[in-house]
Structure 1
Amino acid sequence: MRVIGLMSGTSYDAVDAAAADLSLDPDGTTLRLVPLGMVSAPYEDALRAALAAALPPARTTLGDVCRLDTRVGRAFAALALRADRELCYGRAELVASHGQTVFHWVDAGLVRGTLQLGSPAWIAEATGHPVVSDFRPRDVAAAGQGAPLVSLIDIMLLRGRPGTPAALNIGGIANLTALPPDGPPVAFDTGPGNALLDAAVRELTAGRLDYDEDGALAAAGRVHEPLLLRLLAEPYYRRPAPKTTGKELFHPGHLRTALAPFPGLPPQDVLATLTRLTARTVADALRPLRATEVIASGGGTRNPVLMAALREELPPHTALLGSDALGLPAAAKEAYAFAVLGFLTLHGLPGNVPDCTGAHGPRVLGSLTPGRRPLRLPPTPDHPPRTLTIAPAPGPAPAPVPG
């Protein structure tokens, strides 16, 4: 089955679409993924500004939410249509859309609800394909955290590797999955990935920059230890897993509160400190798990200063490599992950890992929006696949479908 996975993370700067050929081996134990490529499109400035204005702790209206739901849905639909033409040559069979998370309701460590915008109806109408969306709420309804859902794909990919392998994704929020050899898997959000870094860049440059390209500003600064200690005092870091977080906690106001006792701190020092905060909190989360290798993905891997800081913080014996080394492009890993989750949902297979999210049990995730043709579900396999293999991409493909 040829599936397009759509993803926009907590940085809400762009939509990514990754296309994959997915197939189960004859006995159903292995899922084979052939990457077909990725396309990405930034949100229009007006849409990104509207999202920023509506996100917590800002106040918003139901009218704003409705308009954002449509505008995000149309942005996802446009990219899905482009991905079908450019990557699948008009032959996609399914679209899996994560949507845009705008609120993750956490109360005393329990997730009560989660909201992703981007109506799948726009995607189904534009592409004509069925769409799986709204993956997180079913896990939340089963008393889970609703995240990190990529842990299932991480576990399937890591299974069989020596030692204690771990997968790390550094987006706006950083999350990890670890697979100990003699115990259940562990997955949780470690804290801010790029969220506070990006917020600081926008505030300290009065909006002239959106992010610290190549970590250049952080590289020119020095870590301010009192600020770092103040940031590390956040109680979230000491909460046990399973746990999730988002910009409901790690937003610009969080940063302003931390900076208040240190007026006049040079911007470069602020960014150097926030870069070290991400590296330190990730390493602190990995250390008790005794990870022997960390396979990293996400936008943060493109920041060489952050990756260098993470290498310094990790124990010397822990290897750090990108997911490209396993055949899964680091920039597109989450989009590919949701393509896999959509495939599992369509086949009636669970997409969560109760040990990782805290849910009462395995659940088939998401809601299904039919395309233009009558919906015919494939037969459900006798059991879910245990492993994921990445196969080489095919050779030259036929010419794209016009239009």
Structure 2
Amino acid sequence: MSTPELYIGLMSGTSLDGVDGVLADLSEGCQVLAYASAPLPLALYAELLALNQVGHNELHRAALAANALMQVYAQVVKQLLTQTQRPASQIRAIGAHGQTVRHQPQSHGGTGYTLQLCNPALLAELTHIDVVADFRSRDVAAGGQGAPLVPVFHQAIFGRDGSPTAVLNLGGMANLTVIDAHASQPLIGFDCGPGNVLMDAWCHQHRQQAFDAEGAWAAGGQVHHALLDRLLTEPYFAQPAPKSTGRDLFNLAWLDAHLAHFDGIALQDVQATLAELTASTCVACINSYAKNSRLILVCGGGAFNTHLLQRLQALLPACQVQSTATQGMPPLQVEAAAFAWLARQCVWRQPLALQSITGAQGARVAGGIYPA
């Protein structure tokens, strides 16, 4: 039996629905030993959302928000250690993603940037564990999109049975990983467009609920096809991969600009249309890039949106749409486990071959290490 290699992965995604964390043994594959989560305090949630847009005194506010986020991260680490009754000294490193507030790669003169609020030095101080952070910047510096990074993890974990498989992560944004059966084609991964971000924002604005539980509100509405057609004219959807996106583009201001061309659409029908936008854009990507895949594995918070999964299945009759839980990894654990795995890759100086995913000029080691 191999010696355990214990890593913690922490993820707070575009949905702003909290922090997910796992403690995993990565000595052979990825065995999740514990899972924990914590909600974002309401004031921090509001500040992180506001920091996605231009505002007053941003540098100061961003620094304080990063500090506050690390307190939540440290809380999740403590939960994981308590669950497994392990001391901090047994954990090789924490992979901390941070909170994306701007994502503009390959722009502003060619390189662009991606910004995740994180204070890994503070997290190392709070937990007494080495922290690996800033996973995306090196890829951007190498000419890549910096996102998505998780396809290499998807391939390692879900690409082992020899059949063509697609992994659809329905977080705030939706991203697709296409795993070829015999590795005759390069690994493909990219952002399809909005996942839950618009549905959540609309639901929060008009129902004061963080999300549409099980998609029930959308399921009771009617798709407004003229609005859907207009939303689908967004140029991002026609761009070829590699590509990535975020709240910089898909936000309520973007939606309101399109809604301004219509009068009297029922609020619930807008929700139904946003669900259909997510489903239809994901299906278009699957049909274009994963047409040989008969298994679609879904992870992220959207995996619990019953209505959305039903629409995906209806639009993909030749495929089997399943939660990643059927493969032994619950949907909310996948991205956190990915950042535990990415932390290990950094610690061991293993370059990530992301050229076919992000467009980077070559394989690079992703992340920076902050010793405890």
The alignment's TM-score, normalised by the length of structure 1, stands at 0.86
Shift of 1:107: 5.2
Task: Report what 2:167 is aligned to.
Answer: 167
Q: How does 1:345-360 map to 2 (within 5 A)?
A: 345-360=346-361
Are 1:85 and 2:82 counterparts? yes
Cα distance in 1 for residues equivalent to 2:262 and 2:221: 15
8 Å contact from structure 2 (residues 106, 144) kept in 1 = no
Q: How does 1:220-235 map to 2 (within 5 A)?
A: 220-235=220-235
Secondary structure, counterpart of 1:32 in structure 2: coil
Shift of 1:129: 0.8
Task: Report what 1:40 is aligned to.
Answer: 37
Shift of 1:362: 1.1
Cα distance in 1 for residues equivalent to 2:325 and 2:300: 11
Task: Report what 1:145 is aligned to.
Answer: 145
Task: Report what 1:376 is aligned to.
Answer: none
Task: Report what 1:318 is aligned to.
Answer: 319
Shift of 1:245: 0.1
Q: Which deviates more from structure 2 when the two are superposed, residues 359-368 or residues 156-165?
A: 156-165
Structure 1: give runs of 5+ residues left out of the alignment: 24-30, 372-403
Residues 88 and 165 from structure 1, CA distance in 2 versus in 1: closer, same or farther, beyond 3 angstroms? Answer: farther
8 Å contact from structure 1 (residues 111, 146) kept in 2 = no
8 Å contact from structure 1 (residues 301, 307) kept in 2 = yes
Secondary structure, counterpart of 2:114 in structure 1: strand
Task: Report what 1:61 is aligned to.
Answer: 58
Secondary structure, counterpart of 1:187 in structure 2: strand
The total of aligned residue pairs comes to 361
Shift of 1:220: 1.1
8 Å contact from structure 2 (residues 106, 145) kept in 1 = no
8 Å contact from structure 1 (residues 76, 118) kept in 2 = no
Task: Report what 1:375 is aligned to.
Answer: none
Cα distance in 2 for residues equivalent to 1:38 and 1:11: 19
Task: Report what 1:395 is aligned to.
Answer: none
- Paired letter, 1:253: A
Deviant stretches of 4+, over 6 Å: none
8 Å contact from structure 1 (residues 6, 76) kept in 2 = yes
8 Å contact from structure 1 (residues 36, 88) kept in 2 = no
Cα distance in 2 for residues equivalent to 1:223 and 1:72: 37
Q: Which deviates more from structure 2 when the two are superposed, residues 319-328 or residues 40-49?
A: 319-328
RMSD: 1.7
Q: How does 1:8-27 map to 2 (within 5 A)?
A: 8-23=12-27
Are 1:95 and 2:94 counterparts? yes
Q: How does 1:357-372 map to 2 (within 5 A)?
A: 357-371=358-372
- Paired letter, 1:103: R
8 Å contact from structure 1 (residues 111, 145) kept in 2 = no
Cα distance in 1 for residues equivalent to 2:63 and 2:93: 25
8 Å contact from structure 2 (residues 224, 270) kept in 1 = yes
Structure 2: give runs of 5+ residues left out of the alignment: none
Identity of counterpart residues, as a percentage?
39
Match of 2:192 among 190, 193, 198: 190
Shift of 1:79: 1.8
Shift of 1:353: 2.1
Task: Report what 1:28 is aligned to.
Answer: none
C-alpha distance after superposition, 1:43-94 (max 9, x if no partner): 0011111112221255552111221121112221222222222235223232
The alignment's TM-score, normalised by the length of structure 2, stands at 0.93
